[in-house]
Amino acid sequence: MPTIQWFPGHMAKARRQVTEKLTLVDVVFELVDARIPLSSRNPILDELIGEKPRIVILNKSDLADAVLVQKWVAYFNDQGISAVPIVAQEGIGMKKVMSEAKRLLKPKFDRMAAQGRKPRPIRAMSIGIPNVGKSTLINRFIKKNVAQTGNRPGVTKAQQWLKLNKELDLLDTPGILWPKFEDPEVGKKLALTGAIKDTILQLDDIALYGLEIMKEKYPTNLAARYRLTETEMTLAPADLLMLITERRGFIDDYSRAAEMIIYEIRSGKVGRYTLDEVPKNLANETSKK
């Protein structure tokens, strides 16, 4: 797969706007994809957010490896960052996000009350790379389709303030990617999970990477989905693609098979998976607790 670089103009503008609006919010909701908790974090966000209270929201946790979701929560907690796994599509975990925001901001709101200031909703900013579910999160909070959603990156194009309920005002921001992925593997993971527009990549490249990494990390899931024998599991990704194309009755339509494989990996039909590994030193520490 070629080196991926993708930085549309509206994202550069969004980065400037985020910096300008941070002073208006109490807390940042940083959404990440639970399947790639580090690869789906924009490295420039730490610099932008600074010391502002933050909650890392691991969305799509129903598609991720359940054991590793908890290890990633422990990882972020170890870094001094609150982390909450959710499934925005189903509304699972939303109450936990609010309770964690209240916990983080209690000292600030207690000081405001002591000064005689009237209670007001928490002001939050949602931020993250494209297609991690920011708009779906908003719609679940407000229980209406006020934010446009789509299973493709780049749906939200402008910032917008939304009054979600009596307790929360949210500033929605467009997804922000960064100019260049220093680690090519990060770009591949983002492509496979759908954070980068499919139109700028070759689908067969993404599918071949998907077969390769699933074969490496979750071979049982891959074998079960495509009914692969032990011998067939030793095939190279390109040969596996040809075999699956034939087995699904697509004859020589490898592009159709590639598209199907990508869809089935993204939607969880090949099973739950997490592609980012928790740093080993922390994984060892958490296993002892």
Q: Are 213 and 275 in contact (CB under 8 A)?
A: yes
Task: Check the annotation: does 131 bind a ligand.
Answer: yes
Task: Check the annotation: does 271 bind a ligand.
Answer: no
CA 30 from centroid of its chain's CA atoms: 9
Task: Check the annotation: does 136 bind a ligand.
Answer: yes
**What is the CB neighbour count within 10 angstroms for residue 77?**
14
Q: Which domains does the chain have, with CATH numbers?
A: 9-172 (3.40.50.300), 202-266 (no CATH)
For the chain, the maximum distance between any two Cα atoms, rounded to a whole number of angstroms, is 73
**Residues for the chain: how many in total?**
289
Task: Check the annotation: does 249 bind a ligand.
Answer: no
CB-facing half-sphere around the CA of 253: CA atoms within 13 A: 9
Q: Are 175 and 132 in contact (CB under 8 A)?
A: yes
Task: Check the annotation: does 188 bind a ligand.
Answer: no
CB-facing half-sphere around the CA of 49: CA atoms within 13 A: 22
Task: Check the annotation: does 198 bind a ligand.
Answer: no
Task: Check the annotation: does 169 bind a ligand.
Answer: no
26 DSSP assignment: S
User: Six-digit token pair at 74?
Assistant: 């422990």
Q: Are 27 and 124 in contact (CB under 8 A)?
A: yes
What's the pTM?
A: 0.85
- pLDDT digits (tens), the chain, 289 positions: 555 554 555 556 667 777 888 889 999 999 999 999 999 988 778 888 888 999 999 999 999 999 999 999 999 999 999 999 999 999 999 999 999 999 999 999 999 999 999 989 999 998 888 788 887 888 887 765 554 444 444 444 456 788 877 889 988 776 676 555 677 888 899 999 988 777 767 899 999 999 999 999 999 999 999 999 999 999 999 999 999 999 999 989 999 999 999 999 999 999 999 999 998 765 445 444 4
